[in-house]
Amino acid sequence: MQPDTTDLLDRFLRYVRIDTRSDDKSPTTPSTPGQWDLLRLLERELKELGLADVVLTEHGYVLATLPATSLKKIPAIAWFAHVDTATNLPGAAKPLVHRAYDGRPIVLPDDPAQKLTLETTPFLRDCLGHDLVTASGTTLLGSDDKSGIATVMAAVRHLLQHPEIPHGKIRICFNPDEEIARGVTKLDLQQLGADCGYTLDGSSPGEIDFETFSADAAVLEIQGVASHPGWAKDVMVNAARLAGRFLAALPLEQSPERTSGTAGFIHPIECTASAEHAKVRLILRDFELAGLAAHRARLEQITADLRAAEPKAVITLTFTEQYRNMRYWLEQDMRPVEFAQEAIRRAGLAPKSSAIRGGTDGSSLTQRGLPTPNIFCGMHEVHSPREWVSLQDMAKAVETLVHLAQVWVERSP
């Protein structure tokens, strides 16, 4: 099959211009108004394509149905992609298309210090001759995960245009707030009505992921003892200093900047402090639950030592479960992964899997009972102004989804 790359590119460029950066300090779902803008656009586009049961829920989930073309009784599958972008940079891109990339450095015009070269970006060597899309240097491109959205939309459009292709019922779900670990917390799985899912939220061609970090969040709060600094001796307890001591006690060898592969980490992501009050927010990551428990225990010991050193301070440490390694459930029934591997082979690619040093909505969905591995959609250098995607790689993801729909028909009894 040959996906319509003109339509695919047009959709992607349209989506990335909308600022959908999420906000983990917002109590709402979605967490930002810009996500509603893209969700409403997708709702309208799905209706224009002619899908059934298109709805935008009160919590920002766009759901739709691509009706089955096969008469066989086939499990319903769902395709997911998230509308939000990461919190660290603006998300309204000025996308630039670099046709037939020839290997020369790509300098991003709004910040010439941001550049892509073959030496610093090895994946570019696999994309010589491809049409690449970047942002302009000061924002995210938003290919995480708008390349996933465009891929799903293009696959749906192709299947609608080719009703002779046999497939079962396919449910579409575009969701908010994946980047702040809330992506599917308010999704009603009964309303979704699927037996298996796939997130389109991966990187290089052929990728099919079924193992992620397990994740917790932690918050340390310190209430000091206030005093006029001129008369503070033996009275004041400085919360800011205690926060500094806590941070200094964190094991550097278990930090993101010192770990790779399957090693987990403890990562302080924010610290606010005054003499009276301090707050430190952290994330804990590990592929194994025992490792995650060890990270918790390390923080509890550091906190206990701090309390012993300054008994007049009120120090609290709280943990919140975020998501768990989806491998624990998927390894019990690998058919969703095996079917995706076959679809990838039919698209002319070699399937490959690795342990993701992060999470996807599939982590939470799988834990909740909906097996949901993760499929590539071409994104690279995500969460940075150098983010880029190959149009040809996105087209391969579209092709993979179309084949995947057929594999489910063939492999169902």
Burial 256-274 (b: 16+ CB within 10 A, else e): eeebeeeebbbbbeebebe
User: Residue 143 carries which side chain, given as an amino acid letter?
Assistant: S
* Dist. CA 385–CA 32, nearest whole Å: 21
Q: Which residue is catalytic, options 19, 45, 84, 201?
A: 84
The alpha carbon torsion through 36, 37, 39, 42 (nearest 10 deg) reads 170
Is 84 assigned a catalytic role?
yes
50-55's contacts with Cβ under 8 Å and 24+ in sequence apart are: 50/160, 51/156, 51/160, 51/172
φ/ψ region of 373 (left if φ > 0, alpha if ψ in -120 to 50, else beta) reads: beta
* Dist. CA 381–CA 15, nearest whole Å: 18
φ/ψ region of 4 (left if φ > 0, alpha if ψ in -120 to 50, else beta) reads: beta
> Are the C-beta atoms of residues 132 and 12 closer than 8 Å to each other?
no
**Among the listed residues 115, 319, 370, 63, the one whose alpha carbon sits nearest the alpha carbon of residue 214:** 319
Degrees to nearest 5, angle at CA 86 with 81 and 89: 140
- Please list the residues that pair with 380 across neighbouring strands: 388
Strand 115-116 versus strand 77-82 pairing type: unpaired
* Dist. CA 206–CA 148, nearest whole Å: 14
Q: Which residue is catalytic, options 144, 178, 310, 361?
A: 178
Supply the DSSP symbol for 123. G
Is 276 assigned a catalytic role?
no
> Is the torsion defined by CA of 49, 178, 84, 95 positive or negative?
negative
Active site (catalytic) residues: 84, 178
